[in-house]
Amino acid sequence: MDRLRRKPTIKDVAQMAGVSIGTVSRVLNQHPRVTPESHQAVMTAVRALGYEPNLIARTMRTQTKKAIGFMVNDISNPLFSLIARHAETVFQDNGFSLVLANSGERSGAEAELVQQFFTHRTDGLLMNISDETNQQLLRALQNLQVPTVLMDREPAGVNLDRVMTDHAYGMQQAAGYLLKLGHRRIALITADQRISPGRARIEGYMAAHAAAGVAVDPALIRARSLSAGHGFQEMFSLWTMQERPTAVIAGGNQILLGVLRAARQLRISVPAEVSLISCDETELAELATPPVTVIWRDLALVGRTAADLLLQRISGRRTDEPRRIMLPTELRVRESCGPPAA
Say yes or no: 71 and 141 in one domain: yes
Residue 337 in domain: no
Residue 189 CA, distance from chain mean position: 19
104-127 as b/e, with b when 16 or more CB fall inside 10 Å? ebbbebbbebbbeebbeebbbbbb
Q: If you compute the radius of gyration of the chain from its CA atoms, what whole number of angstroms results?
A: 24
Say yes or no: 292 and 275 in one domain: yes
* pLDDT at res. 64: 63
Say yes or no: 179 and 154 in one domain: no
296-330 confidence digits (pLDDT tens): 999 999 999 999 999 999 988 888 899 999 999 99
Written as one string, the DSSP assignment of 13-68 is: HHHHHTS-HHHHHHHHTT-SS--HHHHHHHHHHHHHHT----HHHHHHHHS---EE
Whole-angstrom Cα distance, residue 166 to residue 330? 9
Is the confidence at residue 123, as pLDDT, over 80?
yes
Say yes or no: 161 and 191 in one domain: no
Residue 332 in domain: no
Residue 36 in domain: yes
HSE-up of residue 242 (Cα within 13 Å, Cβ side): 0
Say yes or no: 228 and 309 in one domain: no
Task: Using pLDDT thresholds of 50, 70 and 90, give the confidence band for residue 121.
Answer: confident
Say yes or no: 190 and 283 in one domain: yes
Say yes or no: 181 and 285 in one domain: yes
Say yes or no: 160 and 195 in one domain: no
Q: What is the DSSP pairing of strand 247-250 with strand 186-191?
A: parallel
**Identity (one letter) of the amino acid at 336?**
S
Say yes or no: 27 and 76 in one domain: no
Q: How many domains does the chain have?
A: 3
* pLDDT at res. 154: 95
Residue 335 in domain: no
Residue 14 sits in a domain whose CATH number is: 1.10.260.40
The helix or strand, by DSSP H or E, that contains position 288, with its residue range, turns out to be none
Whole-angstrom Cα distance, residue 28 to residue 19? 13
Query: What is the residue-averaged pLDDT of the chain?
Result: 90
Residue 228 sits in a domain whose CATH number is: 3.40.50.2300
CA–CA distance from 182 to each of 22, 76, 278 (Å)? 67, 36, 19
Say yes or no: 266 and 308 in one domain: no
* pLDDT at res. 43: 87
CA–CA distance from 53 to each of 7, 50, 59, 122 (Å)? 11, 10, 11, 16
* Average pLDDT of span 288-295: 97
Say yes or no: 241 and 174 in one domain: yes
* Average pLDDT of span 221-245: 96
Residue 290 CA, distance from chain mean position: 26
Whole-angstrom Cα distance, residue 161 to residue 148? 7
* pLDDT at res. 59: 44
* pLDDT at res. 318: 86
Q: pTM of the prediction?
A: 0.80
How much of the chain exceeds pLDDT 90, in percent? 66
8-66 confidence digits (pLDDT tens): 888 888 899 898 877 887 787 766 667 888 888 888 888 888 887 654 444 444 456 78
Residue 133 in domain: yes
* pLDDT at res. 57: 46
Domain membership of residue 266 as a residue range: 167-297
